[in-house]
């Protein structure tokens, strides 16, 4: 998620101070992604430099400096909301890299590596499900964030299952198993008249 555009979205509702933006960002995202107030002010400075927000004119960058969105900022926000993110390349994923590297390492039980991570992810899914049952009906943003995380974790677990199956099939094909001798083909009999 881009903090830059999330702050523009909050400012589109009216002027805010940096601390207010941080608090509202966390509230809107179900407090799933904590935001450092320093990151808020750094982002606001860049937005102001780019002409997407204006400050109330104070030289002080402290908590009492107010910001509002400009017309250019509204246009940027509208474009961002309607532009799909670039998902054409897979993201660099530590778990995928770990499995790909483990496949080629001698002496590594890749099945155990996969199952260790699978167990951990299932445990995480159970924890997120408990959170969902507790608070999702009370907070729409949190409920949506929890749903997204559960779907993401489920997809990773399904990938691990598919990877484990593919690795097992590949190891069976690569094994040097004794093979039954091929049946001898009968000699061709040529009949002569």
pTM of whole model > 0.75?
Answer: no
Query: Whole domain around residue 130: which residue ranges?
Result: 94-174
Q: What is the C-alpha R_g of the chain?
A: 28
For residue 14, give the CATH number of its domain. 1.10.10.10
- Are residues 102 and 72 both part of a single domain? no
Domain end (from 82, 117, 151): 82
Tell which phi-psi region holds residue 35, choosing left (phi > 0), alpha (psi between -120 and 50) or beta: beta
Q: What is the pLDDT along the chain (193 residues), one digit of tens a residue?
A: 489 999 999 999 999 999 999 999 988 887 778 888 899 999 999 999 999 999 986 655 555 789 999 999 999 999 999 999 888 888 888 999 999 999 989 999 999 999 999 999 999 999 999 888 877 567 788 888 889 999 999 999 999 999 999 999 888 776 544 545 555 655 555 555 5
Residue environment code for 3-40, b if the CB has 16+ CB neighbours within 10 A, otherwise e: bbbbbbbbbeeeebbbebbbbbbeebbbbeeebeeeeb
Residue 45 covered by a domain: yes
Domain end (from 24, 53, 82): 82
* The pLDDT value given to residue 121: 96
Domain end (from 31, 49, 82): 82
| Residue 16: both structure tokens together | 């805010």
- Are residues 73 and 136 both part of a single domain? no
- Are residues 76 and 100 both part of a single domain? no
Residue 182 covered by a domain: no
Residue 185 covered by a domain: no
């Amino acid at each position: 998620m881009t903090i830059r555009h999330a702050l523009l979205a909050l400012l589109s509702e009216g002027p805010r101070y940096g601390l207010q933006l941080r608090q509202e960002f966390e509230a809107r995202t179900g407090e799933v992604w904590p935001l450092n107030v320093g990151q808020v002010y750094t982002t606001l400075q860049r937005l102001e430099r780019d002409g997407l927000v204006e400050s109330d004119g104070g030289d002080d960058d402290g908590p009492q400096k107010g910001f509002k969105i400009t017309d250019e900022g509204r246009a940027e926000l509208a474009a961002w909301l309607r532009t799909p993110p670039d998902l054409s390349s897979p993201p660099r994923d530590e778990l995928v890299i770990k499995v790909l590297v483990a496949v080629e390492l001698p002496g590594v039980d890749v099945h155990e590596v996969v199952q260790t991570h699978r167990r951990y992810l299932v445990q995480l899914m159970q924890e997120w499900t408990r959170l969902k049952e507790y608070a999702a009906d009370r907070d729409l943003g949190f409920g949506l964030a929890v749903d997204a995380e559960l779907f993401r974790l489920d997809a990773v677990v399904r990938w691990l299952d598919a990877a484990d199956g593919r690795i097992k099939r590949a190891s069976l094909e690569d094994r040097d198993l004794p093979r039954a001798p091929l049946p001898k083909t009968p000699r061709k009999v040529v009949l002569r008249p």
